[in-house]
Homo-oligomer: A and B are copies of this chain.
Amino acid sequence: MTRYSKQTRLLLAVDCIIFGFDGNNIKLLIVKRGIEPEKGKWSLMGGFLKPDENLKECADRVLKQLTGIQGVYLEQLRTFSEPDRDPVERTVSVAYFALIDINKYEQQLSHDYSAEWFLLNEKPKLVFDHDEMVKLAQKQLRYKASLHPILFELLPEKFTIPQLQGLYEGVYDTSFDNRNFSRKVLSTGLLMKQKEKDKLNSKKGAFYYKLDKKKYKANFQSFLNFIPNPDRFII
């Protein structure tokens, strides 16, 4: 026996929902689709699974090829399988969601690739079921960020507490009390205060902090309970 007979074979694709943070807002990275059908329309970055790779490797490859991005936070989200989701032929797609430091890749993206960042509420309609994937990824981002410190993945190496607060406020589209917020983030023990200040955003300047990566990895699973009234941010 060399094959399972009488079973349908189909294409398996990976699509990546890539989030970045520009200092004020969460953004989504999308590209103009390179192949027919819907060629030229806005789309998530995707590609077909190759014979010798697993899905994670496929997602890494797609990210690298289309954006040059490597080694970022990447998590399997869900597999989308409506029979008619791709009009050409049956294609099941595994959605991955990625978080990147937008500044690290801004240059290389605009020069070398045809990818573009959009504010979530200004994003064009995407092909196929990609809008649904984005919606789910947003939910997952809110859900996961309320329990785990993933939002640090969106920040540069050095960041200030007001920046961090702005990020959380952007993700949850709300505002937090700054005294309570800084007490809470500092209580995690994940932040290391630096000597320098960021002077761009205020006269007084705000101290830079770095993430303690060792503690970050060790405590990733801790339940931070960052978000008051998490009911509003259902998955």
Contacts and interface: CB of A to CB of B under 8 A. Distances in A.
Interface string A99-120: 0000000000000000000000
A7 interface: yes
A230 B223 CA distance: 7
B50 A79 contact: no
Interface in A52-110: 52-56, 76, 78-79, 81-83, 88-92, 94
A178 interface: no
Interface stretch (A9-17, A153-161, A192-200): A9-17
B92 A12 contact: yes
Contacts of A54: 81-83
A48 B8 contact: yes
Contact of A48 (B4, B225, B231, B235): B4
A79 B55 contact: yes
A202 interface: no
Contact of A55 (B11, B81, B91): B81
Contacts of A125: none
Given A10-B49, A51-B8, A2 B83 contact: no
Interface of A: 1-4, 7-12, 35-37, 48-56, 76, 78-79, 81-83, 88-92, 94, 147, 219, 221-223, 225, 230-231, 234-235
Given A8-B51, A55-B92, 7 more contacts: A1-B88, A3-B88, A4-B91, A9-B11, A12-B92, A52-B83, A221-B235
29 contacts: A1-B36, A1-B37, A2-B88, A3-B89, A4-B11, A4-B35, A4-B88, A4-B91, A7-B11, A8-B48, A8-B49, A8-B50, A9-B9, A9-B10, A10-B10, A10-B12, A10-B49, A12-B81, A12-B92, A49-B81, A49-B92, A52-B83, A54-B82, A56-B81, A76-B78, A76-B79, A81-B94, A219-B231, A225-B225
